[in-house]
Amino acid sequence: MHSFSKRLTATAWRRAALLAAALCLCGPPAPTQAQTPPTTEPAPAPKAAPTPAPSACRREAVSTPLRPLLRRARFDGALAPDQIAITYIGHSTFLIQTPGGLEIGTDYSDSLPPSFTPEVVTMNGAHRSHYSDSPPAAIALALRGWNPSGGAARHDVTRRDGRIRNVTTDVIRGPGSILPDANSIFIFEIGELCIAHFGHLHAPLTRAQLSSVGRIDIMFAPVEGGYMLGAEAMREVAHQIGARIVIPMHYFSSSSLARFVSGFGPRFAVDYADSPTRLFSKATLPKRATLLILPSTQ
């Protein structure tokens, strides 16, 4: 039995060797139809895509000038001899333009510079958003509302057809921390109009300060921020001043502005302007005291 298994195994090995030799002599099987290699002729070049017809919409879009994202930052028309133009730039910055060509920027700062260079700027020292350490050289006159050397700043200057003077007030830095005369109320006397910018007002006005400010037709009133007067106290100042136009400034939300406006009650009319610029004259001031809300140019 054992010798038979050995003979069977040897026979199997011989058959395997003969089959392998036959494969080597015959080579690989002929390729089938699917395995036929591709012809060597070059493929035809792809046809060029047709040129698209010109787009009338695209031509119109390219030829139409782009509109600036910011609103116009100044009044470009001619002012009557008794008119002034006021434009709200933003925060506490306004541009006042006179018929004599004088341009005044209030609370000029590096954080919100106008897109132009006024001839005169006023500044306050409460925060960086109210002044610039290095105003452009093209500004002819930069009036600081504080005195860097100490004491009170005193300004009373006339340029072209405008007179600019100031009344100083104190700035509160914290409980028990007061900077005397670090803020100024700037008064602009142009023709028959008197305009006052109250800067960063932190305390109610004294009788002496009210007397120095004098008669005011248009008042820029700060609404909120830090140790500034609250809305109720600021409304009391507005009543004391008796301006015919009160323009809110220095507010950080529409809700705080709404609260400030609603607190005046029916005694004041409310005018929400569509444009940041409004023209004023003594003859056209409203008979009823009015809160004028100007949108900013920013």
Count of the separate structural domains present in the chain: 1
Contact 100, 162 (CB under 8 A): yes
State pTM to two decimals: 0.74
E strand spans, 151-238:
156-159, 162-174, 177-190, 193-197, 218-222
Interatomic CA distance for residues 248 and 222, integer angstroms: 6
Token representation of residue 51: 């040129």
Question: Any idea what the CATH number is for the domain that residue 261 is in?
Answer: 3.60.15.10
Contact 213, 241 (CB under 8 A): yes
18 within domain boundaries: no
19 within domain boundaries: no
Contact 123, 143 (CB under 8 A): yes
Closest CA to 221 of 201, 240, 207: 201
Q: What does pLDDT average to in each consecutive run of 10 residues of the chain (298 residues)?
A: 46 49 46 51 58 46 36 81 96 95 91 78 76 84 93 97 97 84 96 96 94 97 81 94 96 92 94 97 97 94
**Per-residue model confidence (pLDDT) at position 229:** 84
Cα angle, residue 171 at apex, residues 165 and 177 outer, rounded to 5°: 155
159 within domain boundaries: yes
171 within domain boundaries: yes
Which domain covers residue 149, as residue numbers? 83-293
Identify residue 131 by its one-letter amino acid code.
Y
Identify residue 155 by its one-letter amino acid code.
H
25 within domain boundaries: no
Which of 38-58 are b and which e, b meaning 16 or more Cβ less than 10 Å from the residue's Cβ? eeeeeeeeeeeeeeeeeeeee
107 within domain boundaries: yes
267 within domain boundaries: yes
Q: Which residue has tokens 């109610």?
A: 204
**Per-residue model confidence (pLDDT) at position 124:** 87
170 within domain boundaries: yes
